[in-house]
A and B are shown apart, each in its own frame.
Chain A
């Protein structure tokens, strides 16, 4: 391996790592706020990519009926949850959020899809379709389990992952899709050729990181999410409902997942089940960050990307094995240096 190849691999690794970083950040967010290890995060990625691809082809994406169905289920779950205070106004608010909003998005998609309105509009429609699914899934599958243990939540998470993968197969079929790149431009940089696509990916990842940082440090809603993660009872006593925090973090995760899907769609052929492996690599990065630290998770994600690209060059048959093995020394190191958790007031 000479220096040029190493540079190429590094470039590749950083670009892939950017996607893993986005996924790792949303996993950390969802876990700290709700204690759910969000295995279906990968499905949001696949849905994002496949939805964009079918809009690109001028057809109505399969995620649209799925969104309507999930919205209806969430409406029922919300009504059951709010049965003690179910007044006309509450019912109207729930119907607007769970039924009218998805219907509006579906109508927009149905109207815009045959027009082929161009990549930017198609990306916005994709994000609008996939993002609300996060909140709906939380209401249907996770809120009723809010008091369950992490293990039970993990089992539910696996169940949701399997269901979403199956639904992906139903709605999108077994064929893979690929979309045109966000930018055809490329720039020579020394021995490297930097593509516009990879600049977009790194740029958007940085933008999301900055946006998340602003959200958490500057807005009361962002601080309420952190507060829920730090002290659930304390947050409830301030009037921050865990269900609000959960719904919000799931929606952010779905948004970031869909955006990741939009970003990788031009690089690789995405199938209905492609998301799982991508999500798992983001998970490795989140674990290295202890499922708690955003900067550590993002840095670890870049490392995972680089390990993956070097591994696929040196020993491509063992690419995944090497990536997932990287978790073992980290876990060893963590278990050796971690002190017993102290009860803090």
Chain B
């Protein structure tokens, strides 16, 4: 087993007296795609925000051996962590191209950020809309822009919060394909999803969160077969099913 890239131990995040994340431990190995599943309010978004430093947390958090706990968001970005938040947080009144350029802000002095042309090849829709304000984009285009903007910062660990939220099934499949391709290119990924079926299909490893604690953990094949996961997240109530079952969304 390779040394973990990201290592969280007994992470606790509280809003006032209410603990939203209660002692979560989790690891992401280099180049692996790890997914965190769970229902609404299970603490998934809170967990990601704490890993990124947006929310204060207690516990231990290491990235490639370095202690992250006391570093602010910007310092974590400088080390190669990147978060695509649930609300995307685009620069709505700035052009698509400016949004992308700002994605490479951490490389402003030394160079070596992502390449605009590469992003436009990856997401041709963004090339068509490069002069438009980000606020005028559709939901799917915003998600693409958020992803491309994060990639411009050449993250070593990319964290995605509900990338499929509010997207049409076809676009969900496309987003998941892109995430899987990034993993194949060597970027470690932490994917938080409600669409458990789509997430488990591309993930290597998974955690199931409930009430702020990890209730289940395992490689994605095991989780796909686990009775509790099937019952709770993959059962007949799964409305945001993406495409016919059995068709792999990832290129693998």
Identify the A interface with B (CB < 8 A).
84-85, 220-221, 223-224, 226-227, 230-231, 233-241, 344-345
Q: Are A233 and B149 in contact (CB under 8 A)?
A: no
The 8 Å CB contact of B74, one of A223, A227, A231, A240, is A240
**A345→B138 CA distance, assembly (Å):** 11
**A238→B104 CA distance, assembly (Å):** 7
The 4 tightest CB contacts between A and B, nearest first, are: A234-B89, A239-B77, A84-B70, A239-B106
Q: Are A344 and B82 in contact (CB under 8 A)?
A: no
Question: With a CB–CB cut-off of 8 A, which chain B residues contact A221?
Answer: 108
Identify the B interface with A (CB < 8 A).
52, 54, 70-75, 77-78, 82-83, 85, 87-94, 98, 101-103, 105-106, 108, 135, 142, 149, 153
Question: With a CB–CB cut-off of 8 A, which chain A residues contact B105?
Answer: 220, 224, 238-240
**A212→B105 CA distance, assembly (Å):** 20
**A20→B242 CA distance, assembly (Å):** 59
- Nearest CB of chain A from residue B90's CB, rounded to whole Å: 6
The 8 Å CB contact of B101, one of A223, A235, A345, is A223
Question: With a CB–CB cut-off of 8 A, which chain B residues contact A241?
Answer: 72, 74
Interface centre among B52, B108, B153, by most chain A C-beta atoms within 10 angstroms, is B108
**A118→B76 CA distance, assembly (Å):** 49
Question: With a CB–CB cut-off of 8 A, which chain A residues contact B75?
Answer: 85
Q: Are A224 and B83 in contact (CB under 8 A)?
A: no
Question: With a CB–CB cut-off of 8 A, which chain B residues contact A234?
Answer: 88-91
Q: Are A220 and B72 in contact (CB under 8 A)?
A: no
- Nearest CB of chain A from residue B190's CB, rounded to whole Å: 15
**A226→B99 CA distance, assembly (Å):** 11
**A270→B119 CA distance, assembly (Å):** 55
Q: Are A238 and B103 in contact (CB under 8 A)?
A: yes
**A224→B106 CA distance, assembly (Å):** 11
Q: Are B94 and A236 in contact (CB under 8 A)?
A: no
Question: With a CB–CB cut-off of 8 A, which chain B residues contact A220?
Answer: 101-102, 105, 108
Q: Are B71 and A85 in contact (CB under 8 A)?
A: yes
Q: Are A231 and B82 in contact (CB under 8 A)?
A: no
- Nearest CB of chain A from residue B167's CB, rounded to whole Å: 13
**A223→B108 CA distance, assembly (Å):** 12
**A230→B89 CA distance, assembly (Å):** 10
- Nearest CB of chain B from residue A287's CB, rounded to whole Å: 20
- Nearest CB of chain B from residue A239's CB, rounded to whole Å: 4
- Nearest CB of chain A from residue B53's CB, rounded to whole Å: 9
Which residue of A has the minimal Cβ distance to B152? Answer: A238
Question: With a CB–CB cut-off of 8 A, which chain B residues contact A231?
Answer: 89-92
Q: Are A230 and B93 in contact (CB under 8 A)?
A: yes
Q: Are B90 and A236 in contact (CB under 8 A)?
A: no
A236-B74, A239-B74 known; A345+B91 contact, CB < 8 A = no
A236-B73, A240-B74 known; A345+B88 contact, CB < 8 A = yes
**A223→B97 CA distance, assembly (Å):** 11
Q: 14 interchain pairs (CB within 8 A)? A: A85-B70, A220-B108, A223-B101, A223-B102, A227-B94, A230-B91, A237-B52, A237-B73, A237-B82, A238-B102, A238-B149, A239-B74, A240-B74, A240-B105
**A239→B108 CA distance, assembly (Å):** 11
Q: Are B91 and A226 in contact (CB under 8 A)?
A: yes
The 8 Å CB contact of A237, one of B85, B93, B94, B135, is B85
**A227→B142 CA distance, assembly (Å):** 16
- Nearest CB of chain A from residue B164's CB, rounded to whole Å: 15
Q: Are A345 and B87 in contact (CB under 8 A)?
A: yes
- Nearest CB of chain A from residue B235's CB, rounded to whole Å: 30
Question: With a CB–CB cut-off of 8 A, which chain A residues contact B101?
Answer: 220, 223
**A231→B74 CA distance, assembly (Å):** 15
**A230→B98 CA distance, assembly (Å):** 12
